[in-house]
Structure 1
Amino acid sequence: MMQVGDLGLSKVKCQTLISSGVSGMLPWMAPELLNGTTILVSEKVDVYSFGIVLWEILTGEEPYAGLHYGAILGGIVMNTLRPPVPDSCDPEWRSLMEQCWATEPLQRPSFTQIAARLRSMAAAKKAQPYGN
């Protein structure tokens, strides 16, 4: 079973209202949390964050490291800001990341779907001859 942790900010998904204000790390926060379009916690906000983590794994960098928090906030809320994907990125990895940080939460995959895709990508990589 795949589990995702958030170091103490967790809520029960789909049952908890965001009543004490939004808390979390801005570069990893889904647009719907920042623009007020939802007050319910759902798996899809975590999927968005996981997509940003996939980018971090790919690049080894911190998302939006050179930007002021105001620019990050505005870009995420307006859905005009996502981390730049290197041209060398595997197309399947790119597709998964971009689907995770889709503007519309319903377009984001579930963690079950993400886990299946990651297993499939790993199996395909394992099956390739050494050096490819």
Structure 2
Amino acid sequence: MTGSTGTLGYMAPEVLENKPYNRKCDAYSFGICLWEIYCCDMPYPNLKFSDLTSSVVYLSMRPDIPSSCPSSLAEIITRCWHSNPNKRPEMKEVVTMLKAIDTSKGKGMTPLYESHGCLFFCCQ
């Protein structure tokens, strides 16, 4: 695999540093995507490449999670973008955690359907 491949704001620290990486870098990117979907915003819109790289890699900077974010979703996001790839969940575990979100009070995500191993959600 080659380092520095992907979209900057979504790249795991180990990819940004051109270090060896595995599929846990996808969990990192997915965590950033979950944050982006919930917040309807782009991560790090005003940072240059050098600032972004050093902040994400050396300062463990991540986007701020709003207090309105359900704690179950915030936990998934923060576990996905953990600095240590070994502490990130496998994507199969992420799917399990997403399915377990309590949507009975109308706050959260409801699974719509599953197709080819992918879950599709809608926010309520």
User: So what's the TM-score if we normalise by structure 2?
Assistant: 0.79
Matched position secondary structure for 1:106: helix
SS in 2 for 1:48: helix
**Aligned mates of 2:84, 2:6 — CA distance in 1:** 20
Given candidates 35, 49, 60, the residue that maps to 2:17 is 35
Root-mean-square deviation (Å): 2.0
- Structure (1/2) with the larger strand percentage: 2
Residue of 23, 27, 49 corresponding to 2:29 = 49
Counterpart in 2 of 1:107? 87
Asked if 1:65 is matched to 2:71, the reply is no
- Which amino acid in the other structure matches residue 78 of structure 2? E
Distance 1:70 1:22 in 2: 12
Question: Which aligned runs of 4 or more in structure 1 are off by greater than 3 angstroms?
Answer: 127-130
Structure 1 unmatched ranges of 5 or more? 1-16
TM-score by length of 1: 0.74
- Relative to 1, partners in 2 of residues 1:61 and 1:129: Cα closer, same or farther, differing over 3 Å? closer
Amino acid at match of 1:43: R
Secondary structure of 1:117's aligned partner: helix
Query: Of the two structures, which has the highest relative contact order with CA contacts closer than 8 Å and spacing of 6 or more?
Result: 1
Q: How many residues of Structure 1 are paired with residues of Structure 2 in the alignment?
A: 108
Unaligned 5+ segments in structure 2 are 108-123
Q: Which residue of 2 aligns with 1:128?
A: 105
Cα offset for 1:74?
1.0
CA shift for structure 1 position 73: 1.2
